[in-house]
A and B are shown apart, each in its own frame.
Chain A
Amino acid sequence: MKIQELLEKIKANPVESVVSLNGEIVTEDAVAKDGDQVEIFSVVSGG
Chain B
Amino acid sequence: MSCNNCVDHSVYVTLHHEKLCKNCFIKYFERKVHKTMLKYKMIQKGEKIGVGLSGGKDSVSCLYLLKKFTGKQGNEIVAIAVDEGIHGYRDKTLVEAKAFCKEQKIPLEITSYKKEFGFTLDEYLRKHKVNPCGVCGVLRRYVLNKAARRLKVDKLATGHNLDDEAQSILMNQLKGNIGLSAKLGPITGVLMHDKFIPRLKPLYFMTEKETTIYSKVKGFHVSYNVCPNFGENFREQVGSNLNQLEMKFPGTKQGMVNSFLDILPELRKRFSKGQIGVCQECGEPASKKLCRVCSILQ
Contact = CB atoms under 8 A, between A and B. Distances in A.
B57 A45 contact: yes
A29 interface: yes
B75 interface: no
B56 A47 contact: yes
Contact of A13 (B12, B211, B236, B244): B244
Report which residue of A14, A28, A42, A46 has the largest number of chain B beta carbons within 10 angstroms of its beta carbon: A46
Nearest to B25: A25
Given A15-B209, A24-B9, A27-B13, A47 B226 contact: yes
B9 A30 contact: yes
B1 A30 contact: yes
A28 B11 CA distance: 9
A27 B10 contact: yes
A14 B209 CA distance: 9
Contacts of A27: 1, 10-13, 19
Contacts of B246: 15
A1 B153 CA distance: 52
Contact of A46 (B22, B230, B243, B244): B230
B10 to A, nearest CB: 5
Contacts, number: 69
B16 to A, nearest CB: 14
Contacts of B247: 13-15
Interface residues of B, number: 32
B68 interface: no
A26 interface: yes
Nearest to B211: A43
Given A45-B57, A47-B89, A15 B243 contact: yes
- The number of chain A residues touching the other chain, given as a range, is 20 to 34
Contacts of A14: 247
Interface string B221-244: 000111101100000100100011
A46 B54 CA distance: 12
A36 interface: no
A45 B236 CA distance: 10
Interface string A21-44: 000111111100000000001111
B54 to A, nearest CB: 8
B177 to A, nearest CB: 21
A13 to B, nearest CB: 5
Contacts of B229: 47
A45 B226 contact: yes
Interface string A9-20: 000011111101
A4 to B, nearest CB: 11
A41 to B, nearest CB: 6
The 3 A-B pairs of least Cβ separation, nearest first, read A47-B227, A46-B230, A43-B212
Interface of B: 1, 9-13, 19, 22, 54, 56-58, 89, 208-209, 211-213, 216-217, 224-227, 229-230, 236, 239, 243-244, 246-247
12 contacts: A14-B247, A16-B243, A17-B209, A24-B11, A27-B12, A28-B13, A41-B224, A44-B239, A45-B57, A46-B236, A47-B226, A47-B229
